[in-house]
A and B are shown apart, each in its own frame.
Chain A
């Protein structure tokens, strides 16, 4: 899908969430679903399979949110999937999450770590990233074993990479 179309879908979802006054809540759900879709080929395949009824696919999305998501979240995701745009679901939902953070006066900071971060670590990391970027950040932590160790943080166009994976890759390149 073209960037314009992705932007349009994302804008529509943001406006719906804003109209319902739940953008701040929705953005977190969108981010979680986006990460789930991004990390699972099988999930993307199921969400894109038009032979599977839309209700069934929506149920899958609700199960992804584990009942903690806002009811509107599954409907918005269902709207995207039902429109046959499941292939770009992660991209659309990432924009929604970023817009949601932006609307709250913050910037989405995606943090990938090999291990889960404690609440204290998340707080300190958010503060450190805010200090580093000069922006108030909305921290989203993704546990990603592929980073091996350490953390990589992405705030807008800024990427701060302190992962063992990157260091290993650089070492391999030098070898």
Chain B
């Protein structure tokens, strides 16, 4: 069968319009579609709206959280910057205070050391003088003792009988001569 014949001969199984379905189909189809749409509207649309709303809220919440986090981060960054600034100031203050204290300590230490050195020098000088005096005294004493011992021995050794007699005669003559 040719294509033309197909178009030329009406087919009883075909609808009355090549584009529109049968009227009943339209009616039943329309009713069914309405029911389907109504059901969709009734049940699916709220679910969809709800899901969409939940997602919107979730996204909004995430955005809010992110904003909050950023705010917190900014705050923390500010705190850190402030703290860094404070630390710097504190460091500067502490350094200045330490400089002052070290200067005071250094000055006091130098003064104390100067005094101590002067005292030590004076004490050393006094000790030196005392030691020299003591040693001198000891030396003089020792020399005197040795001299005395030596003189005693020499005198005794030289005092023979003749010297003794000379001394006696000298004494008698001196006593007799004086008045």
List residues of A whose CB falls within 8 A of some B CB. 113-115, 117, 121, 124-125, 127-129, 131-132, 148-151, 153, 160, 162, 164, 168, 171-172, 175
Assembly CA distance A150 to B66 (angstroms): 131
Assembly CA distance A168 to B155 (angstroms): 9
B168: which of A121, A131, A160, A175 is its contact (CB, 8 Å)? Answer: A121
Q: Of B93-101, B131-139, B158-166, which binds chain A?
A: B158-166
- Nearest Cβ on chain A to B21's Cβ, whole angstroms: 165
A175→B147 contact, CB < 8 A: yes
- Nearest Cβ on chain B to A138's Cβ, whole angstroms: 16
B175→A125 contact, CB < 8 A: yes
**What is the count of residue pairs linking A and B with beta-carbon distances less than 8 angstroms?**
69
Assembly CA distance A121 to B164 (angstroms): 13
The residue in chain A whose Cβ has the minimal distance to the Cβ of B146 is A175
Contacts of B159 in A (CB 8 A): 114, 148-149, 164
Q: A172-B144, A175-B144 are in contact. Are A149 and B179 (CB under 8 A)?
A: no
Contacts of B165 in A (CB 8 A): 115
Contacts of A115 in B (CB 8 A): 161, 164-165, 168
Contacts of B170 in A (CB 8 A): 150, 162
Contacts of A164 in B (CB 8 A): 155, 159, 167
Contacts of A117 in B (CB 8 A): 168
Tell me if B152 counts as interface (CB < 8 A to partner A): yes
Contacts of A168 in B (CB 8 A): 148, 151-152, 155
Interface centre among A125, A127, A129 (most CB of B within 10 A): A125
Q: Can you list 20 A-B contacts with CB-CB less than 8 angstroms, sorted by A residue number?
A: A113-B168, A114-B164, A115-B161, A115-B165, A115-B168, A117-B168, A124-B176, A128-B175, A131-B176, A132-B175, A148-B159, A153-B175, A162-B167, A162-B174, A162-B175, A164-B167, A171-B148, A172-B144, A175-B143, A175-B144
